[in-house]
Amino acid sequence: MARLRGWVFSSLLVLNTIAGSLWSVMLWPLPHPIRYFFGVRCWAIANLWLLRVICGVDWEVRGLRHLPAKASVVLMKHSSAFDIIVQAVLFPRQVWLLKRELLWVPLFGWALAAIGCVGVDRARGARAVRGVVRAGKARIEQGLWVMVFPEGTRMAPGETGSYAPGGAMIASAAHCPVVPVAHNAGDYWPRRSASKKPGTISIVIGPPLDSRHHNARELTQKVKTWIESEVTKLS
């Protein structure tokens, strides 16, 4: 039954994503808050409701008091597709740092471009990093939060990837805080699995780190230490 419920949810997730993408593309000429609300936030709220009703997976969050008043860079543990969905509900209007190839996907990629997501061309090396930092800084100056999964790919519970400094570099260039986020979503929504384990995902938002007091690599290491410590506690 768990696998069946998982497949039902996954099917509805795909349909919901197509609908959200259509909204984002059709509303492209309108101001960003409008296309973001219909294309992203409503999409996320609907998916989280479906996840709870169909699969019995709920979530709770601690540390909302730590959120800065101004746009910031969020560095978040990545272990599940849940991370992508919940960030749109947890944090203010935002853009995501992602692989540039995703922007080429028909409809879905156009929707990502419509909300201003920043594509990373990994093949260009240092030149790509400079472009990403400039684009991320511009988004922060527009009042948009920048969401980053520093490990770059979903990690199974108990695994730790290499934390890239790109998010911290954006924060340093924009002189804005870095907000670390830990969770145990991979225990309930495993990567590459249709089954979902009923229960409550725990999310912890850490105190913001001032990017003006550390260089990007020091900042990234501090974030990594905090996140992995919290994930160990949650698991």
At 21-33, the pLDDT tens digits run 999 999 999 999 9
How do residues 143-202 score in pLDDT, each as one tens digit?
A: 999 999 999 899 999 999 999 999 999 999 999 999 999 999 999 999 888 889 999 999
Residue 93 lies in a domain: yes
- CA–CA separation, 232 vs 235, rounded Å? 5
- Here the tokens at position 23 are 């909204």
Which residues, in sequence order, are CB contacts of 94 under 8 Å at separation 6+? Answer: 74, 87, 88, 144, 145, 146, 147
* Residue 125 clears pLDDT 70, i.e. is over it: no
- CA–CA separation, 196 vs 213, rounded Å? 41
Residue 172 lies in a domain: yes
Give the 3-state secondary structure of residue 94.
Answer: strand
Residue 10 lies in a domain: no
- CA–CA separation, 230 vs 235, rounded Å? 9
- Here the tokens at position 194 are 């249709």
How do residues 56-110 score in pLDDT, each as one tens digit?
A: 999 999 999 999 999 999 999 999 999 999 999 999 999 999 988 999 999 999 9
- Here the tokens at position 211 are 């990017």
Could you list the beta-strand ranges (E) of the chain: 57-62, 73-76, 94-99, 118-120, 145-148, 178-183, 199-205
Whole-model pTM: value is 0.94
Q: How many CB atoms lie within 10 A of CB 121?
A: 14
Structural domain of residue 190, as residue ranges?
A: 58-234
Q: What is the mean pLDDT of the chain?
A: 94
Residue 7 lies in a domain: no
Which residues, in sequence order, are CB contacts of 44 under 8 Å at separation 6+? Answer: 85, 86, 88, 89
* Residue 124 clears pLDDT 80, i.e. is over it: no
When divided into structural domains, the chain yields a total of: 1
Measured in degrees and rounded to the nearest 5, phi and psi for residue 80 equal: -160, 160
